[in-house]
Chain A
Amino acid sequence: MAKIVTDVVCPFCGTLCDDLEVALSDDGEEILEVYNACAIGAAKFLHSQAKDRLTRPRMKQEDGSWKEVTYDEAADYTANLLVDAKKPLMYGWSSTNCTAQSTGSEIGEEVGACMDNTATVCHGSTLIAVQDVGVPSATLGEIANRADRVVFWGCNPAHAHPRHMSRYSIYPRGFFTGKGSKSRKMIVVDPRNTDTAKMADVHVQLEQGRDYELLSAIRVAIRGEKLPDVVAGIPKEQIYEIADTLKSGRFTAIFFGMGVTHSLGKNHNIDIAIMVTRDLNDYTKAAIVAMRGHYNVTGSGQVWGWEFGFPFCLDLTRGFARYNPGDSSSNDLLIRDEVDAVFVLGSDPGAHFPVGSVKKIAKLPSVCIDPHITPTSAVSKLHVPVAFVGVEVGGCAYRMDNVPIETRKVVEPPEGMLTDDEFLQLVLTRVRELKGAA
């Protein structure tokens, strides 16, 4: 009889499902099965059980081979790299808990780093827009219980957030949404006919890169003003109809993703989507929520928000926090040769950044802290494997709607392995020693 651990929180995407059940071996040391999770979430738990997993840091040698080193040696290398650099970049922070993020901030402050999280290639444009015009938002629980108009704009939860629709947005039978999906009207705006679009009551298949124009047209329609015959490939009659549908609901929820945050216009697309939401509040209740990707990218923004006042693209080189995406954002820093060392934790820029940036990482002194072997670890000089947060160590994470949820430890990490936070504490101590000696 397997031992079942209940109410496990899934450390994969920003949906942060908290109803997983994990079956352990009798001795409680091995994960056998994962219930309730989506395929991606289950794979993450089971991947931690891989027999060929790296359990010790390794340093790249001149001939390209790897040599195992101790955690102390790895911490020493990392601390020296950060202290010696004039402008180190400390990137990632989205797949770890808030405690490690906070320890990372202490290191960043000590060494005068540029700190950035995965929002920079994800929902950073959302954060810019929120700072510009504010945001009327709601928790996913409120949406599950109330929303009868649900819009997915430039996002594909069927693949990217597989349990979002069943837990929060489309299928749950909530207090005022007793008929589940039948009590909701689902609108998907996407140039592609995605699997989410196939489920929609209305699929608005706009021209690629014309989201700003269409959102503006919806604002015009909400105000009852005249429209041109066709906007973004959508006839004006349909735009008036969409505006009426959104206005006539009891509660409209708009979810959006990479399709608008990183297509033409970026933050302006979100800015105007927020203004649509605000306009709708003249007629009904409306809220807008970003479909955040990594399970704790939101937490990273929260931690830095309360520590430095800005959620990403932090420049601490002068001893106080400055912020200006376009100047202090990772890719601009890398492509323009503005940084001279790279530290990555809990993200994979090797897979997500433009190749021009990745080539720069490969040329610079670099360290990658990640349980997995990734394209980033492959181009880094030092790779430090650590325990899986949410599987082998708990800690706080923030869901996409900014609700903090404490993740759970399910099994022990392999013997002798450190967690993100334990390794960062070693680095911080070493950084302080080096700076004291200087």
Chain B
Amino acid sequence: MAKVILTPTQTPTLFLEAENITPDVFAGKNAAEIAALHGFVGKTTVTLGDYFTVEGAGGQTAADTTVVINGDVSRVKYIGMKMSAGELIVNGNADMYVGGWMTGGRLTVNGDIEAFAGLGMTGGELIVNGNAGNYLGAAYRGDWRGMQGGEIRVSGNAGSDVGTFMRGGTIVVGGNIDVHVGTHMEGGTIIVKGDAKSRVGGQMVKGTIYVYGDIDVMMPGFQYRNDADLEVDGDNGRFALYEGDMGERHPKRKGEVIYGQLYMKY
């Protein structure tokens, strides 16, 4: 597998918008061609070479290209946006829109990321060994389609509005989560291994949320159904099943109303 190594040489004075940092764009290009790819700082057009040293070259296709960023890119937006295959590894913190609208491949961040990561994502894996910000796997403003497929795995905490308008795929948060989890959710799975604050599953239509820790304030539209012994993401445990949101519309399948499911671990 061909490897491209980017090493940051300077911190952007404002923010660098670098949606070209993906295996898809790097595929078939040598180091010089990659360094000449454009990015934006405000209204000025810059090149990746202005901010990174580039080593190696892309493979023939995205699938056989690995991109490694060695260093802090916490002032760089859109890393791995719309990537469809291959691998991207960030050894450092990254800013907003990491893996936004990604459709495949594997994106790993060994550090913290900011808001809007995995926005509207439809496939692939987004792994964050650190904390994530708000709107993880959510929908872009005004879109009714949040995350639709793939997997997001965050080892630390996540912010608010995780999985808003989510329709498929899986989000696993190892730590705690802020308010508004799976708001307007229409499918998919969210697993929170720590505590949640409030507004879990508000306006939820379908889909499943697991919370291992506590929820400070439950939504009033969730009703207790039964207890169940389950294996969730490799963990066994006894869960209480709540269904809701009773205030929201719900579809019928084979004559039965389908609700959103919220499992709370004992």
Contact = CB atoms under 8 A, between A and B. Distances in A.
B206 interface: no
Interface string B28-53: 00000000000011111000000000
Given A216-B247, A219-B221, A265 B116 contact: no
Nearest to B221: A220
**Chain B contact surface mostly:** loop
Contacts of A271: 183-184, 203
Interface stretch (B65-73, B82-90, B135-143, B147-155): B135-143
Contact of B43 (A87, A272, A323): A87
Contacts of B43: 86-87, 111-112, 317-319
Interface residues of B, number: 37
Interface string A182-222: 00000000000000000000000000001011001111101
A246 B15 CA distance: 49
Interface in B124-144: 134-135, 140-142, 144
A327 B183 CA distance: 20
Given A128-B141, A327-B96, A268 B180 contact: yes
Contact of A317 (B13, B40, B135, B144): B40
A239 B255 CA distance: 30
B220 interface: yes
B14 A337 contact: yes
Interface stretch (A66-74, A226-234, A345-353, A381-389): A226-234
A26 B235 CA distance: 85
Query: Most chain-A CB neighbours within 10 Å: which of B13, B43, B217, B245?
Result: B43
Contacts of A217: 220-221, 247
A86 B77 CA distance: 16
Q: What is the size category of the interface that chain A forms with chain B?
A: 35 or more
Given A112-B43, A228-B220, A268-B180, A219 B248 contact: yes
Contacts of A272: 202-203
A172 interface: no
A226 B42 CA distance: 52
A220 B220 CA distance: 8
A128 B140 CA distance: 11
**Chain A contact surface mostly:** loop
13 contacts: A87-B42, A112-B42, A112-B43, A217-B247, A225-B246, A225-B247, A228-B218, A228-B220, A271-B183, A319-B43, A324-B116, A327-B116, A338-B15
A217 B246 CA distance: 9
A224 to B, nearest CB: 10
A216 B221 CA distance: 7
A100 interface: no
A223 interface: yes
B110 interface: no
Contacts of B165: 132
Contact of B246 (A223, A317, A340): A223
B14 A323 contact: no
